[in-house]
Each structure stands twice: as structure tokens, then as C-alpha cells.
Amino acid sequence: MIKSSTISKSKFIFVAAVMLWIKTYIVYKTSFDIKIENLMQEFILLINPLSFLLLFFGISFFMKPKKRNKFIIFASLLSSFVLFANVVFYRFFNDFLTLPVLFQTSNMGDLGTSITGNLKITDPLLFIDVVILILLNKYKPSFTIAEVITKKERRSYFILVAVIFFLNLGLAEAQRPQLLTRTFDREMLVKNIGTYNYQIYDIVLQSKSSAQRALADSSSFIDIENYLKANQKDPGENFGIAEGKNVVVISMESLQSFVINETIDGEEITPFLNEFIKESYYFDNFYHQTGQGKTSDSEFLLENSLYPLGRGAVFFTHASNEYTATPEIIKEHGYYSSVLHANNKTFWNRDIMYDSLGYDQFYDIESYEVTEENSIGWGLKDIDFFEQSIDLLKSQPQPYYSKFITLTNHFPFELEEEDKMVNEYTSNSRTLNRYFPTVRYMDESIKLFFDRLKEEGMYENTIFVLYGDHYGISENHNKAMAQFLGKEEITPFDSIQLQRVPLIIHIPGVTDVNPQVVSDVSGQIDLKPTILSLLGMDLKNDVHFGHDLFSKDRLPFTVLRDGSFITEKYVFTKNTCYDRTTGEETESSFCEPYMEKAGLELDYSDEIIYGDLLRFYNGTSYTEPIPEEFKE
């Protein structure tokens, strides 16, 4: 199809494409944990970078010969940078970059330690092909000389590119039907269409989502209203049990449930929380449901009972939307709302988003005295943060709803020796090793905070909600995690179980008299309706996907942002159904009844956000009859 003369005229292009192709495949195999199930999937993984690279370098055919080689070097550098950025991002987040994440530039200054903590001494090798191209262009002009390409030769070249692309897409579609319409799993997309094609696809998705708001109208909300109404549950027996009390919510940075009641060298990792659980409601099958927005996603779930987006962070992409958030609802009941977080107000675009959510006050880093002595890693140490927050809390009108966001237990889990109360772990993962001392430090900071609240007489009239915001240890550390848990390996089922985070609800005079461990499957989507129900606030006409965790007729079901879900008996992830009791694979038919519900909830939530549909909602009761297909 393509003549040898064209290849001869384009040696520089083909050398550049082949080097980047081979490099990308090596990165796939060494830097990304991409599951390969058969030889066909391996073949697809091998060829998927090729069509994009040939197309991108082929643009040079339309340039004058003098500029062609410079463009090829630039194209190789740009492609290598995209690959490098994905490698660094994947090392911590176990995920691939999306366009909205790239635009979160206001976070970059604060992300410094996280980024440098994920760099490796071998990373410059990702640009070795660019260096080779520069040297060839400078010292081998006979090899890199750019000749005129005829229209016929260009046509043959791009026909070859099209053939490779459609071969790749056809094989991928055979392996994974509806590949491009089921976008929850970025690993699946990268595995089948490649890193570079995925980035282009992501740009298309971003353009599509931007158009959704302009095209949306009130009719777009009808099916969603019907679904939510059909799945609405009556409040639980604890409705109104904390009516009129102050609310303190503590977002515990990167805290996963596997550390609860565990020890390091005989020392408890979370001694305070272990005891606190004994006088509280503790939910031991509570899952985080965050996406790329991490802590900001957990806040979004908490305040709205909507799912975060699968790409980017809602706090950045849709901060100007209309929401029916918790701070706005409780304001109607006389509550004052605030957030206390010793970080820059622009990080995660919080200063804009908090206004949209209806918060009265944001106590950011300017409200705290931060010095070199009382800060480390991401900023003010948790003990100092809580200590300095007491006076801020006392200055607020009551009743108040105040959210505290901790910092110390944040990757890369830095802590000075004098602050370490347990030893580091010993494994091949420096990240996991350093995780335990920072968890212990956060636990101590919460203990001291409660001691001060009691001293100040601020404890008895307050309901406390403590929850882990997202995972701290990604799947990239599975070998070390298996060692800590005493397992041979971490399976996909185990990975889902590791997405459990603590949820502790403490009501003085109630939970200390009658503590409970609640083992029903639940998630962060349920926080808003649970908190408001405990406060005695009616949510019949509110838009939310979660349920009061004390409701007797609540379905034990939680869907994660990647489309995985957990039910009372089964776990579905990586296109596989697992028995929740044994952790073994089981028939997919057992999970099928929940698949549509999982997809529907994520899709409907996305529609609300992308279309800004809550601007059409006036908070009145539903008047239309509910179609049967929406009823559980």
C-alpha cells in the first residue's frame, strides 16, 4: 500500500514513530498496571499507540521540508511529555490524566511534594528518543534530509494510518463491546485505544460535556426526578435524635479502614479512634466514592449526595452550578455553616465552590498562624490545626455546622521524628511504610481536639461525624499491602475492600449509652441524608441519591465512581462478579440485576452536573406518576 520510496523519503518520521511506539509499549508494561487476559488483548495493547503516532508525525507531510524535522522533534517531545505526565500521575492516583485535571493549574503549587515524591531517577529515560532525534538531525543530515512528498504518497500514508486505526478499534470493540460509550473505566480505554488516542477522546468528551449545559432544559430532569422519587426511602428510627445540636464533621485525610484496630510492632495505630468507636455508631462497610477530585470529591458527596464526575473534579469544572447542598438546607433551619482548613483558599477552587454550596464562612490558611515549626508536608500540622480552631469555633453563632479538613496524613506522609508515635512499617513501599506514623499522629490530634472541646464545654451539645475522605495507599503498593495484611496477593476483590474508609457518628448522651457497629454496605453518598435525618430535617423534596443509613428499607448497595459496586452478597469490579463472603469469582448473572442501577445512578448524576439541571428544580414535591421501570 505504501511505497518504499515514501519510506525512504520519510526515514526520520518512521524512526521517530517506531522509537516512541516501542517506548510507549515498554511504559505500558512497566509503569501501568494494565490487566491482560489473553493474547488478543496483548496484541491490541502493542498496536494501539501506532495509529496516533503515525497520524501526528504525518502532519509534517504538509509542511515545507525545512520545517518538517523540527516539527517531528517537537511532536516527539510533546508525546513523550504526555506519557511522562501520565506515568507520574499514575504512580500515586493509579489513574490516567484527563483534560480537566490538566487545567487544575491552581493546585500545582500545593502539589509540589506529591509530584516530586513520585519522580524516579530513571524518568529522564522517557525522553531518550527525543535526544536521539536531535542528535540525528544535527550530525546525520544525509539520514534526516527532508524531501518533497507527493499527494499520492501522502494519500497512501494516511490510508495506512486509517487501516491501523480501524483494525485497532475493531479488535478492541470485539473484546469490549460499547467501549466508547462506557467510559467509567479509563484503564479499559487506555488498554484498547492507547494513551494518546485516549487523550484525544477525552478532549471530545470535554467538548461534549461543555455543550450539555447549553442544550439542557427542564424536560431533561423528568426521568431523573422519577428515578429519585421511586427510590426514596422513609427516614430511620433515629430521625430527629440530634435536633438543634451543633454539627462537627471531620474529614480524615487518606484514612482507610484497614488501620482500625491494627498495630505496628505491638503499638495501636489508631488508639483513640478504636476507643471512640466503642461509644459511637461505627460503619465498618462504608466506602469512599471519590474520583480524580479526591478530597474535593468527598466534600461534594458529603454536601450534595451526588456522585462526583468520572473525569476531573466538580469543584473545578462546575463550581458555578446550582446545588441544593447541606449548608444551604440547614441555613433554612437557623444553622451557621463553616469550613476550617489550613490551606490556600484557591486549592481545589474551594473559595468559589463553597459560595455555590452556601457556606457562610471559610477559615483558610489566613485564619491560622503557620510557621516552619508547626507545619510539615502540606502545611499546618493537625494538632496545631485543631488547637487553633477552637477559638474560631467558639466565635461562631449557634447552632453551627462546621467541617474540619485535616492535612498531615497526606501523601507523601512526611513527619518529623519527634512527632512519630509508632514505628514505620518495613516493606518495599516507602509510601506504605511512612503511612502509619502519620495516621497515628492524626489520631492523636483528634483525641486532643475532643479533650479541648470537653474542657471548653463545647462537647455535649454537638453531634460528631468523622469519615475517611479517600484511599491513602493506591494499588501501586499492592505487594507491600499484601505483606501487611498477611495475604499472598491483592486481588481485584481485595482492592475494592481496601476502598472502605471509617465512618463514625458520635452523639453524646446517645451513642455512648447505646453504641452500634453497623455492617450494612454504605458509602459517602449517604452522608447528607443521614446527617440531615438525625437533625430532624425533611428531605422528601430534595435531590439526592443516597439514603439515611438508619432507614430500615434502605437497599445495601454502593456504586464506586469507576462503575464497580458492592451489594449485600456480591462485589462487581473489573468486569468480574465476586462472592462478598468468600472473595471468590462467581457467576456474572448474580451481579447483573445491579449493573443497570449502578450505571443509571452515575449517568443521572452526571446529567445533573453537566447540564446544571438543578437550576430547573424549584424544590417542590413530585407531581407526575412514577413509571414502573424506575421502582426498585
Band the pLDDT of 146: cuts 50, 70, 90: low
Of 187, 212, 237, the domain-final residue: 212
Q: Identify the pLDDT of residue 626.
A: 47
Per DSSP, the three-state class of 47 is helix
Q: Is residue 12 part of a domain?
A: yes
Q: Which three cell numbers stand for residue 324?
A: 441544593
Q: Which three cell numbers stand for residue 566?
A: 458492592
Q: Is 295 a catalytic residue?
A: yes
User: Strand locations in 127-285, DSSP E?
Assistant: 246-252, 263-264, 267-268, 281-283
Q: Identify the pLDDT of residue 622.
A: 41
Mean pLDDT of 319-325: 90
Query: If we measure between CA atoms, which residue out of 311, 312, 320, 315 comes closest to residue 301?
Result: 315
Amino acid identity at 492: P
Band the pLDDT of 127: cuts 50, 70, 90: very high
Q: Which three cell numbers stand for residue 537?
A: 430535617
DSSP state of 591: T
pLDDT, one tens digit per residue, over 544-595 is: 999 999 998 899 999 999 999 999 999 999 989 999 999 999 999 999 999 9
Q: Is residue 438 part of a domain?
A: yes
Q: Could you tell me how far CA 36 lies from the centroid of its own chain?
A: 23
Per DSSP, the three-state class of 628 is helix
How far lies 468's CA from each of 134, 241, 384, 391, 403, in Å?
49, 24, 20, 25, 13
Band the pLDDT of 421: cuts 50, 70, 90: very high
Q: What does the DSSP assignment read for 435-484?
A: HHHHHHHHHHHHHHHHHHHHHTT-STTEEEEEEE-S-SS-GGGHHHHHHH
Together in a domain, 510 and 609: yes
Listed in sequence order, the residues at least 6 apart from 352 whose beta carbon sits closer than 8 Å to its beta carbon are: 319, 320
Main-chain dihedrals φ then ψ at residue 369, nearest 5 degrees: -95, 105
Residue 3 has pLDDT above 70, yes or no: no
Q: Are 359 and 337 within 8 A, CB to CB? A: yes
Q: Are 475 and 256 within 8 A, CB to CB? A: no
Q: Identify the pLDDT of residue 236.
A: 87
pLDDT, one tens digit per residue, over 426-481 is: 999 999 999 999 999 999 999 999 999 999 999 999 999 999 999 999 998 999 99
When comparing pLDDT for 100 and 496, which is higher?
Answer: 496
Band the pLDDT of 154: cuts 50, 70, 90: confident
Together in a domain, 97 and 29: yes
Q: Is residue 631 part of a domain?
A: no
pLDDT, one tens digit per residue, over 229-282 is: 888 888 889 999 999 999 999 999 999 999 999 999 999 999 999 999 999 999
Q: Identify the pLDDT of residue 194.
A: 87
Q: Could you tell me how far CA 58 lies from the centroid of its own chain?
A: 36
Q: Which three cell numbers stand for residue 523?
A: 458509602
Q: Are 600 and 525 within 8 A, CB to CB? A: no
**Domain CATH for 436:** 3.40.720.10
Q: Which three cell numbers stand for residue 427?
A: 516493606
Q: Is residue 628 part of a domain?
A: no
Q: Is the bond leading into 412 cis (omega within 30 degrees of zero)?
A: yes
Q: What is the largest CA-CA distance in the chain?
A: 86
CA atoms within 13 Å, Cβ hemisphere of 193: 21
DSSP state of 627: P
Q: Is residue 627 part of a domain?
A: no
Together in a domain, 310 and 430: yes
Kindly name the residue from 98, 295, 491, 511 that is annotated as catalytic.
Answer: 295
Together in a domain, 355 and 255: yes
Listed in sequence order, the residues at least 6 apart from 108 whose beta carbon sits closer than 8 Å to its beta carbon are: none
Residue 109 has pLDDT above 70, yes or no: no
C-alpha 625/C-alpha 549 separation (Å) is 27
Which range, of 146-155, 375-384, 522-531, 599-608, averages the lowest pLDDT?
146-155
Q: Which three cell numbers stand for residue 117?
A: 515524591
Band the pLDDT of 11: cuts 50, 70, 90: confident
Together in a domain, 326 and 379: yes
Q: Could you tell me how far CA 534 lies from the centroid of its own chain?
A: 28
Per DSSP, the three-state class of 250 is strand
Q: Is residue 626 part of a domain?
A: no
Together in a domain, 189 and 251: no
pLDDT, one tens digit per residue, over 525-540 is: 999 999 999 999 988 8
Residue 171 has pLDDT above 50, yes or no: yes
pLDDT, one tens digit per residue, over 477-520 is: 999 999 999 999 999 999 999 999 999 999 999 999 999 999 99
pLDDT, one tens digit per residue, over 172-220 is: 888 877 677 655 567 778 888 888 888 888 777 767 666 777 788 888 8
Together in a domain, 309 and 368: yes
Bridge partners (DSSP) of residue 463 are 247
Alpha-carbon torsion, ordered 192, 197, 201, 207, to 10 deg: 170
Main-chain dihedrals φ then ψ at residue 195, nearest 5 degrees: -60, -45
Q: Identify the pLDDT of residue 621.
A: 43
**3-state secondary structure labels for all residues of 69-122:** HHHHHHHHHHHHHHHHHHHHHHHHHCCCCCHHHHCCHHHCCCCHHHHHCCCCCC
Together in a domain, 192 and 288: no
Sign of CA dihedral 62, 68, 70, 76: positive
Mean pLDDT of 22-28: 93
Q: Identify the pLDDT of residue 181.
A: 60
C-alpha 261/C-alpha 270 separation (Å) is 7
Q: Is residue 254 part of a domain?
A: yes
Q: Are 444 and 421 within 8 A, CB to CB? A: yes
Query: What is the Cα Rg of the chain in Å?
Result: 26
Count up the domains in the chain and report the number: 2
Together in a domain, 206 and 228: no
Of 212, 245, 279, the domain-final residue: 212
When comparing pLDDT for 592 and 109, which is higher?
Answer: 592
Q: Identify the pLDDT of residue 99.
A: 62
When comparing pLDDT for 523 and 221, which is higher?
Answer: 523
Per DSSP, the three-state class of 603 is helix
Q: Is residue 161 part of a domain?
A: yes
Mean pLDDT of 59-84: 88
Instruction: Look up cell 479526591; give the residue.
Output: 294
Calculate the average pLDDT of the chain.
88
C-alpha 383/C-alpha 451 separation (Å) is 12
Q: Hey, how many other C-beta atoms are within 10 angstroms of the C-beta on 128? A: 12
DSSP state of 309: P
Main-chain dihedrals φ then ψ at residue 477, nearest 5 degrees: -110, 30
Q: Identify the pLDDT of residue 466.
A: 98
Q: Identify the pLDDT of residue 277.
A: 97
Together in a domain, 178 and 229: no
Which contiguous run of DSSP H or E holds residue 543? Answer: none
C-alpha 16/C-alpha 27 separation (Å) is 16
Q: Are 443 and 271 within 8 A, CB to CB? A: yes
pLDDT, one tens digit per residue, over 585-632 is: 999 999 999 999 999 999 999 999 999 999 888 765 444 444 455 455
C-alpha 60/C-alpha 70 separation (Å) is 9
Of 165, 194, 212, the domain-final residue: 212
Owning domain of residue 140: 4-212
Alpha-carbon torsion, ordered 242, 246, 247, 250, to 10 deg: -130
Together in a domain, 67 and 117: yes
Together in a domain, 100 and 134: yes
Band the pLDDT of 116: cuts 50, 70, 90: low
Percent of the chain exceeding pLDDT 90 equals 62
CA atoms within 13 Å, Cβ hemisphere of 331: 12
Q: Which of 56-65, 96-105, 299-308 has the highest mean pLDDT?
A: 299-308
C-alpha 314/C-alpha 13 separation (Å) is 40
Cβ-count burial 10-48 (b if 16+ within 10 Å, e if not): bebbebbbebbbebbbebbeebbeeeeeeeebeebbbbb
